[in-house]
Structure 1
């Protein structure tokens, strides 16, 4: 049996530290906490269920702004332009699908 396989007892002394090391460790801990917070926020923003919920709420708000007399004139105009553009996009897509179907048939 060699001396390398024998485990030595660990020292009970505290490691040497300086005020600079303590300050760096505190800064590192603060940076880790900030990074964890940023990662949590990004995960919340990228959650598919949360994105779908925000999209539905945005759509409801657009529809409300376009049809409500209580909405600000700028918001009403923007909502009507967005909804009109979406309707035009759907109509164009439908026309392309119908044209492609006629070519094949």
Structure 2
């Protein structure tokens, strides 16, 4: 009879651990979902453009400068790739 409270406490702890594990697995499967990843990448891209052109009045000036550098570097890389393809042909 003295072990019954211990057993009940262990069962409650086990149930809580299972619920936590299920939540963790659900979060991981969401994060690894390709559609979720694509949506996150698209949103980051939209935010990068908003930061670069300054349409977000709440944007941090350092975020604006970083966005402009990233977009400038991407544009330069694209220009190099296009010119390499044109030269090949």
Structure number with bigger Rg? 1
Match of 2:81 in 1: 93
5+ residue gaps, structure 2, are: none
Q: Residue 61 of structure 1: CA displacement?
A: 1.1
Distance 2:17 2:60 in 1: 43
Match of 1:66 in 2: 52
Which has the higher relative contact order, 1 or 2, with Cα contacts under 8 A spaced 6 or more apart? 2
Match of 1:78 in 2: 66
Count, aligned residues = 85
Aligned-CA RMSD value: 2.0
TM superposition score normalised by structure 1: 0.67
Q: Residue 68 of structure 1: CA displacement?
A: 1.7
5+ residue gaps, structure 1, are: 1-16
TM superposition score normalised by structure 2: 0.77
Q: Given the alignment, which residue of 13, 21, 27 partners 2:13?
A: 27
